[in-house]
Structure 1
């Protein structure tokens, strides 16, 4: 039986009112850039593809696992991103200002804590479980945990959006287990994505738990031994 439960954050404990593509379109509108002709799906895909140059930079410069790109580091990626969306010759100043605004919104107001999260986390703590957070993001999420009033329930917080360290690498999960002084096999990892969260848990030799409330995934792609739950509060039926 696990002694610790480690959690993903986005769409595991938090919810959003729009996708990253929707947020990007909203931010762009503040700069007079109308992206309404592009679907949110197209914008989500474009944002994802723009990360390739950031990943190349991370490897070329052997950055630390908590490294996060500043607006000037995004210039190459953002210029290509907007070129693919039909916008040429955007100034460096505009690109950096837009990226700075997007980073601020993404890191502060984009997501909120799911209503089932806090009562479930506190009950798990009451039952004696040690809790931790391991998330695939470049910004330290502790200010959000404090804002939501749940910073006290987590004994360890690990994060990384650097390729090679971020999930599905087990790096942050293993760091959390080490910080807690626990064998990884005494930990469960709770997330919402098979390719990132479940894969990282399996590689870390932790108990994988998949939450499907944000978007059910096919059972056929879930590795054997994965505990699949629909809602956050369902954790209390098993732990």
Structure 2
């Protein structure tokens, strides 16, 4: 096997701690004029369509969501709700303690790093606020690509951006969106992060049949690189 040249990471639940919708989301429902439980139901069933950007911009998407939930907010209300949703996603996002040190350690070893994430319009706005933003050589976001994991295009685009062949890439993820089997299908080495906090993680289309390698701490990524293969 060739040496690793890059390590690719999922975002939610991998570089971050488990994600749960915080109290701010109920306020967004109130702002839009719809029932909070109905809003959550619409958000859940439309996740991958929204993550592909199917309904347009952030505000256009929120208008679609509100209509599905039985509300008809004004343009001004939509703008306010879209801003509130960005802040709610920000509030729900807590980096793992090991995220920044792990990325720094990989870069010291000469490896390239990339983010491969299914996400809605809010993540591209949130990322620049995070200290790991400058430690990523590339990002492949579903809402910008128009596809979601496990589509091979997500993984192949990331490999191309970091200048590596798929078999030279290590992929780390919690298993949402069947990302592990998706990464393996294009020739990458995939490893699941099975951290204790992920028991309550908000996830969609998980890799329930995954039987490959696991780690329990994001920092164990360094051990995989050092022990299994010498970096190029």
Describe the SS at the equivalent of 2:42: helix
Give the conservation status (yes or no) of the 8 Å contact 1:190–1:197: no
Q: Does 1:237 align with 2:219?
A: no
Partner of 1:27: 28
Match runs of 1:73-222 below 5 Å: 73-81=61-69, 83=70, 90-93=72-75, 96-97=78-79, 99-139=81-121, 141=123, 144-161=126-143, 165-213=147-195, 214-215=197-198, 221-222=209-210
CA distance in 2, matches of 1:169, 1:212: 23
Give the conservation status (yes or no) of the 8 Å contact 1:174–1:184: yes
Give the conservation status (yes or no) of the 8 Å contact 1:21–1:43: no
Partner of 1:48: 44
Give the conservation status (yes or no) of the 8 Å contact 2:4–2:170: yes
State the shift of 1:14 in Å.
Answer: 1.2
Aligned positions, number: 217
Describe the SS at the equivalent of 1:2: coil
Give the conservation status (yes or no) of the 8 Å contact 1:201–1:207: yes
CA distance in 1, matches of 2:194, 2:132: 22
Partner of 2:228: none
- Seen in structure 2, the aligned counterparts of structure 1 residues 119 and 47 have a Cα distance that, compared at 3 Å, is same
- Unpaired runs of 5+ residues, structure 2, are 226-232
Structure with bigger helix share is 2
- Unpaired runs of 5+ residues, structure 1, are 59-66, 84-88
Point out 4+ residue stretches in structure 1 off by more than 6 angstroms: 31-34, 217-220
What is the CA RMSD across the aligned residues, in angstroms?
3.5
